Amino acid sequence: MATLIESAGRRTLRDLDYAGGLSIQWWASIKALGASLPFIGNRYRWKSSVQQMLQIGVNAAPMVGLMAMCTGFILAMQGASELRRFGALHYVIDLVSIGFTRELGPLLTAIAVSGRSGSAFSAEIGTMMVTEEIDAIRVMAFEPVEFVLAPKYLAALVTVPCLSILANLCGILAGGIFMFFAAHLALGLYARDVMNTIQIRDVISGLVKSVAFATIIVHVGCLEGFRVHGGPDAVGRSTTAAVVRSTFLVIVADVVFTTIFYFTGLH
């Protein structure tokens, strides 16, 4: 019994330490974010932010769009198989459009970015820790958070909501393609019904989630990288931990935001 309590206590302390590290790192990145902004910040940091936007956003767009289209088509088919029994096939439009703008668009985007970019952040910073490049940055009187993390954070804050909008469009388009073949509904009429179904609060709630998901992915990936100690095998472990923990925290955050929006009447 004592061993079980000790194990639970150690795990609780590790989790609290991890949450504290994320909070401290987040606040430090907020203070360092100004150096990465255009015009008012350091132009080299801004160039690094643009490069990160290409890596996080532009290069991930085809994968996010394809995932959203497949998911939208599956969601429309599964919904239609049940709603057809009640003669309510037109409600597939509501299911797909609201489901993507509120939930699936931001969540699919976050999972894709977590597996693609979150792991890359951890591997990059972890390698810099192993090769002592982070220590060299500190010796040159640079702050590693400002030099390494802030451009990634700014890029994610810009690109992840944009990718979520792309996922929404692709998922809703896939639903329209299904309705065209299943119910012979013209795409123009489908688009009109979608616009009548979606409200601005649905879009805003999805974008708020996207910003929160971007924050989680970047800071978990970078924190795992900064905590690397040892050799190349430690970099591999940190990369795996970054993907697992960021995906788990994204889903937990999605539950929290959905609950808040539900009880405040925003959904």
CA distances from 246 to 20, 122, 157 (A): 15, 11, 16
pLDDT mean across residues, the chain: 88
40 DSSP 8-state letter: T
231 C-beta neighbours (distance < 10 Å), count: 9
Angle formed at CA 12 by CA 9 and CA 16, multiple of 5 degrees: 140
Angle formed at CA 50 by CA 46 and CA 55, multiple of 5 degrees: 145
Place of tokens 């299943």: 182
Q: Which long-range contacts (CB under 8 A, 24 or more apart) does 7-11 make?
A: none
* Position 264 confidence tier, pLDDT thresholds 50, 70, 90: confident
- Amino acid 6: pLDDT: 81
Amino acid identity of 97? Answer: S
Where does the chain have alpha helices with state H?
A: 2-32, 43-53, 61-83, 91-99, 105-113, 119-130, 133-139, 144, 150-183, 187-197, 200-226, 232-263
User: What is the rounded average pLDDT of the residues 243-248?
Assistant: 93
Q: What is the pTM of this model?
A: 0.91
- Amino acid 71: pLDDT: 94
Least confident window among 32-46, 63-77, 117-131: 32-46
Q: Is the pLDDT of residue 238 over 70?
A: yes
- Amino acid 48: pLDDT: 83
The three-state (H, E, C) secondary structure of 105-136, written as one string: HHHHHHHHHHHHHHHHHHHHHHHHHHCCHHHH
User: What is the rounded average pLDDT of the residues 196-210?
Assistant: 91
Residues 106 and 168: their CA atoms lie apart, in Å, by 8
Residues 215 and 230: their CA atoms lie apart, in Å, by 27
Burial class (CB in 10 A: 0-12, 13-18, 19+), 210: buried
Q: Is the pLDDT of residue 87 over 90?
A: no
CA distances from 20 to 11, 14, 17, 223 (A): 14, 10, 5, 11
pLDDT, tens digit (0-9, with 9 covering 90-100), for 12-31: 888 888 888 889 899 988 88
Least confident window among 131-140, 192-201, 219-228, 248-257: 131-140
Please say whether the beta carbons of 229 and 127 come within 8 A. no
Please say whether the beta carbons of 135 and 252 come within 8 A. no
pLDDT, tens digit (0-9, with 9 covering 90-100), for 92-120: 888 999 999 999 999 999 999 998 898 89
Task: List the domain boundaries for the chain.
Answer: 60-263
Residues 11 and 53: their CA atoms lie apart, in Å, by 36
- Amino acid 187: pLDDT: 87
* Position 259 confidence tier, pLDDT thresholds 50, 70, 90: very high
Q: Is the pLDDT of residue 2 over 60?
A: no
Place of tokens 């150690």: 10
* Position 41 confidence tier, pLDDT thresholds 50, 70, 90: low
Please say whether the beta carbons of 32 and 146 come within 8 A. yes
Give the residue with greater pLDDT, 27 vs 81: 27
